[in-house]
Amino acid sequence: MSQLKTGILLVNLGTPDAPTAKAVKRYLAQFLHDRRVVDTNRFIWCPLLHWIILPSRSPKVAKLYQEVWTDEGSPLLVYSRKQQQALAARLPDTPVELAMTYGSPSVNQALERLQRQNVQRLVVLPMYPQYSCSTTGAAWDAISAEFKKRRDLPEVVFIRDYAQHPQYIAALAQSIKDSFVQHGQPDLLLFSYHGIPQRYANEGDDYPLRCEATTQAVVAALGLSESQYKMTYQSRFGREAWLQPYTDETLKALPAQGVKRVQVICPGFSADCLETIEEIDKQNREFFMAQGGESYRYIPALNDSPAHIDLLQALVTGK
């Protein structure tokens, strides 16, 4: 590493502070106000958001969070903290902080803690394997906004993504192999990535290309044929067309095509969260089984597994 004192900042999306309508409303308001996430005209979007979407959506989303909430808190925050702590244990002389683009712990709080430790060189690792303007770009914006308030700035290393990093691909491939050994090889392995509006990709966001790069690298590592896997996109919101094919519609259609046993992995999520635990492992399981599916397995995110911490260490140290 550089002779300058280095600090590490892990950044993920965020989560409500509690599984309540009030906390979810506060979180969604911050999240959905970000132009990186929703770039609709503010005169149209803000009244729609505050008068219709937040009042109606917050109680519904709170109920979903209540289903996945643990004694330790939100799964995303719990796993993110474990990642931070495990990485810090590997790098005892290097401060490691965690920030969420939306909610707590905030970017401002994390940067202040690093500043108090006299960090002169900052390595920022957004916890999104595949770059998107709506995730990695939003993390960049949040950090830049805080830096605008400061006179003294550190040297900054910003890791754009790691969609094809050999250790990332190896960790994903091994988790899939382990699942196949435990549960048997499925008729189809489904790679489900979080979606973005198709328009974002049309306007230059290379996110779908990065997802494809990850999928192809994992498929090559596993030696799968084209008929043994499929790639889809989940979690769409609103009426605008998003990246396709859609995960839920695909799973509903598969049993009629003779695909009765599936395993699903979500390589775009570095930690399990509402979108994997509730949406993929519960909702989409129900869609598939209701249409005649016989076996459905969700392969967990890498979370705080040793292989994942190895990867994070390699990314932030460049070794």
Q: Which residues are annotated as a binding site for Fe(2+)?
A: 194, 275
Q: Which residues are annotated as a binding site?
A: 194, 275
Residue 86's nearest CA partner among 276, 270, 268 is 270
Instruction: Report the distance separating Cα 172 and Cα 28, nearest Å.
Output: 30
Neighbours of 114 (CB within 10 A): 22
Residue 16: alpha-carbon gap to chain centroid: 15
On the CB side of 270, how many CA atoms lie within 13 Å of its CA?
31
The answer to whether 167 and 314 have CB atoms below 8 angstroms apart is yes
